[in-house]
Structure 1
Amino acid sequence: MRIAIQPDFPQLVDQLHSLVPGVEAFLLPKAEQSNEAIVADALLGTAVGGSELPALIERMEGLRWIHILGTGVDKFPLHLVQDKLVTCSRGATASPISEWVLAMLLAHEKQLPKRWITEPPETWHMADLGCLENKTLGIIGFGAIGQAIAKRALAFDMKVVAKVRSHRSSPTPGVELVAELNDLLSVADHVALALPSTPESEGLIGAQAMAAMKPGVHLVNVSRANLIDQEALREYLDNGQISRASLDVVEPEPLPAGHWIYQHPQVFLSPHISWSGPNMIERIVRPFFENVVAFSKGQTLQGIVDTAAGY
């Protein structure tokens, strides 16, 4: 089995050679280095794809399977590989992302970092802090990340409602699933976006959705920036309908200097790092290694992507 590798991670090729007898792994060449055909059974690519990847894919012969490192695959050129088996490292970053979401919920309710002091305050012992207990968390998208968020929120005695494409039984006891977006938006004190970016979800949280939200809602986005209308967000932050937005993703990335999101007092902004945690390269690569073994044995692979749906 020949495996073409896009990301140049240390020891990755050597690890693949030792994983399955007969595996031949090699790094993809630069697009301008050669016009020769690239013969490979499998391709390991990154979630962001890269400008050179489409040209390289078109030169590949014998390609049967593609694994994408990452959960979101919307930036990968899926239109070129819709006849191939495509998998991704779905769920590999669910734990750190869900912890980031809970950190934002707690920071909002406990008024951090504003409540840290560096000089004597006006009063000791008194504050008007909130609690997660008995608050409602609405999660839009209930895959591995959404379920990891729900598990942690339930431990804080929150009520959890999750929006799914069609009504079904909840895989997580204690979580109510709804199919209508407004059924979630009207009751949630905190709303977390954990759904894939597809043509159907682009602009999902626009002015109409924001107007339907519970007044004072806290909006958290760990998915993709294009799910939110950023200019509408500015309006609804200014009028208080949304009391805070915690954003790990924005458009464009990085934001240019002076952008309003940097300056807005009701925005918590981080530079697309919610996925980060200990041993993350190993976590992201592990599903690929497991799939290499399964592929070599003709077994079913994990993390299969619906290339038509885009996730």
Structure 2
Amino acid sequence: MRIALQFDTPQLRKEIAKIAPEAEVVLLPADGSLNIKKPVDVVLATPAGSEQMARLLAVTPNLSWVHIMGTGVDAYPLNLLTGRCVTCSKGSTAVPIAEWVLAMILAHTKQLPNSWIKQPPACWYNADLDSLEGKTLGLIGFGQIGQAIAKRALAFDMRVIAVVRNFRPSPMAGVEFIKKIEQLLPRADHLVLALPATRQSTGLIGAQQLALMKPNSHLINISRAAILNQTALKNALDNGHIAQASLDVVEPEPLPEGHWIYQHPKVKLSPHISWNAPFSYQRMINPFLDNLSRWIAGTPLRGMVDTQAGY
């Protein structure tokens, strides 16, 4: 068995050797070029390696399994992977992303850092701060990231409602599933976009949907920028309908200097870092190592990607 890596560390090599001591490991060039003299059977891919993957597939017709080291797979040439086994590290960064979302909600609710002082204020003791208790969190998407967010929101005594692709009873106590986005938007004080980027979800939240949102609500996007119409968002922020947008994803990335999102007073922007935490890379590698053991044993793999659905 030959395993090609788009990402490499000495520890990764050691872990692979423990699981598959007979496997030959090949490191693909970081510049995206190819230097493959023999076909490979398995590829550990990075979310940024899609162009190299397309070239790799052209010269490795026997490639059987691709594991994408991340949750989002929308940048990958999934159409070329049809008929092959494709997995990803679903849920591996759900906890840090959920913590980031709650941090944004708390910062907005408690007016941080604006409520901190460095000189005597006009008034001690009193401030117009809000509370999470009794507020409604709306989730569009309820995968492992959405579930991790819901779990933490419930601990703050928030109401949690969610829209999923296929309506069904909620698997989590305290979470109400809503049939349509249009029914959820007017109820949410804080709205989180936590769904995969697919052909169906591109442009899902535009001017019409933003207009349905609860006045003075807070929008958070930790999914993909293409789901949210940024021009429509600017209009909703400018006219005061939406109080704040907390964005960890934008389009394009990196965002060019001088872009309006940098300067807008109602936008809190971070550079796609919500997934970061100690050992984040190891957390994303672990599902591949687990699946490698399963691959060798001939047992079903976890984190399967539907190449037709796009996630």
TM bin, normalised by shorter chain, reads: over 0.9
User: 1:61 and 1:261 mapped to 2: Cα distance?
Assistant: 44
Aligned runs of 1:241-260 on 2, under 5 Å?
241-260=241-260
1:106-125 correspondence to structure 2 within 5 Å: 106-125=106-125
Asked if structure 1 preserves the Cα contact closer than 8 Å seen for 2:28 and 2:34, the reply is: no
2:281 alignment counterpart: 281
Listed one character per residue, the Cα deviations across residues 12-57 of structure 1 (whole Å, up to 9, x for unaligned) are 22321122332222212466554x5541221110123243321122
Map residues 35-114 of structure 1 onto 2, 5 A cutoff: 38-114=38-114
Q: Distance in 2 between matches of 1:31 and 1:126?
A: 57
CA separation in 2, counterparts of 1:58 and 1:90? 27
Q: Determine the C-alpha separation between the residues in 1 that align with 2:25 and 2:44.
A: 10
Whether the aligned pair in 2 keeps the contact of 1:244 and 1:268 (CA below 8 Å) is yes
Letter in 2 for 1:5: L
Alpha-carbon RMSD across the aligned residues, in angstroms, is: 1.3
Equivalent-residue separation in structure 2 for 1:211 and 1:6 (angstroms): 43
Using structure 2 for the length normalisation, give the TM-score: 0.96
**Alignment map for 1:1-311 (pairs within 5 Å):** 1-29=1-29, 32=33, 34=35, 38-311=38-311
Does the aligned pair in 2 maintain the 1:17–1:24 contact within 8 Å? Answer: no
CA distance in 1 between counterparts of 2:172 and 2:34 reads 50
Give the fraction of aligned pairs with identical amino acids, expressed as a percent: 55
**Distance in structure 2 (CA, Å) of the matches to 1:37 and 1:133:** 61
List per-residue Cα deviations over 1:60-84 (Å, max 9, x = no partner): 1421111000000001111111110
2:72·2:197 contact (CA, 8 Å) conserved in 1?
Answer: yes
TM-score by length of 1: 0.96
- Match for 2:114: what amino acid? K
SS at match of 1:66: strand
Structure 1 position 178, deviation (Å): 1.4
For 1:104-143, what per-residue CA distance to the aligned partner results, in whole angstroms no more than 9, with x for missing partners? 0000000111111111111110101001100000000000
Q: Distance in 2 between matches of 1:272 and 1:32?
A: 26
Change (3 A) 1:293 1:218: same
Q: How far 1:302 moved relative to its partner?
A: 0.4
- Contact in 2 for aligned 1:44/1:68 (Cα 8 Å): yes
SS at match of 2:145: helix
Q: 2:193·2:221 contact (CA, 8 Å) conserved in 1?
A: yes
Q: Bigger CA drift: 14-23 or 254-263?
A: 14-23
Native 8 Å contact 1:186 1:214 kept in 2 = yes
Supply the distance in 2 between the matched residues of 1:111 and 1:2 (Cα, whole angstroms): 54
Q: Give the direction of change, closer, same or farther, for the CA distance of 1:284–1:129 in structure 2 (3 Å limit).
A: same
SS of the residue aligned with 2:139? strand
Residue-pair matches, total: 310
Maintained 8 Å contact 1:46/1:76:
no
4+ residue segments displaced more than 4 Å:
29-34
